[in-house]
Amino acid sequence: MDSAIKLVMRYAVVECPVCGGYLAIDSKVGYRKCPYCSYVNKIEVSRVVKTFKSPKEASELVRLLNSSNDSFKPLSSDNS
């Protein structure tokens, strides 16, 4: 990702390649563990859907995408 974009658009919404869930990554950190499957997503190799200046905007898109993604099924923490 271009460093000029990182400075302006700090939060990236990415799709996890393992489970298909969407999550927001802070570009200053550069990576984030998927809350659904625990895969570590790195911003420079992830499929970036959209970037935002605010974490609130990024979180809203993550919620929308995950709720409308029929193929995404979060892994259950319940082992029963």
> Residue 79: its pLDDT value, please?
41
Task: Show the domain range for 38.
Answer: 3-68
Cβ density class 37-75: b for 16+ within 10 Å, e for less:
eeeebebeebebeebbeeeeebeebbeebeeeeeebeee
Residue 8 clears pLDDT 50, i.e. is over it:
yes
> Residue 34: its pLDDT value, please?
96
Predicted TM-score of the model (pTM):
0.78
Total number of domains constituting the chain: 1
Question: The CATH number of the domain where 12 resides is what?
Answer: 3.90.820
Residue 7 clears pLDDT 70, i.e. is over it:
no
> Residue 74: its pLDDT value, please?
66
Establish if 45 belongs to a structural domain.
yes
What confidence tens digit (pLDDT) does each residue in 15-63 have?
999 999 999 999 999 999 999 999 999 999 999 999 999 999 999 999 9
